[in-house]
Amino acid sequence: MSTVKVEIQLSSEDLLKAVEQLSQPDLEIFVSQVIALQAQRKANKLPQTEAELLLKINQGITSDTQKRYDEFIAKREAETLTPDEYKELLDLTEQIEKLQAERIEYLAELARLRGTSLTAVMENLGIRTLTYV
């Protein structure tokens, strides 16, 4: 992960400028960590079941796994991926897809508890769906 040296108190605007310096993969990891922090803070004010679901929803893959996955994707796009790396990429993809499926299950359970739709819960939590073309 990239490091940004900060030796002073920062306003939120200054913090955002510091975050702008992060690479795309590091930014994605940072955003996941911020969302998890936000969920944890909200969880302290929620019923136990909802709090546990929110923590599970915001649990992502490790930064090492994300970094390895990103490296393999870059190599695949550059057409330099070895057969062994391709197998590992498939394994990582399966692992990530499994986590995403579990996340959807947790989101659906949270929607059921709240008596609302999955879409409404996702919008409320700021979770966007990806569109593939």
When pLDDT is cut at 50, 70 and 90, the band that residue 3 belongs to is: low
Query: What are the pLDDT digits (tens) for 53-87?
Result: 988 998 888 889 999 999 999 999 999 999 999 99
Q: What is the pTM of this model?
A: 0.60
The average pLDDT across 90-100 equals 94
CA dist 78 → 60, 90, 99, 118 (Å): 27, 17, 27, 38
Please tell me which residue, 40 or 16, carries the higher pLDDT value.
16
The CA distance from 18 to 76, in Å, is 31
Reported residue count of the chain is 133
- Under DSSP, the state recorded for 78 is T
More confident residue, 44 or 86: 86
Query: Where does the pLDDT of residue 11 fall: very low under 50, low under 70, confident under 90, or very high at 90 and above?
Result: confident
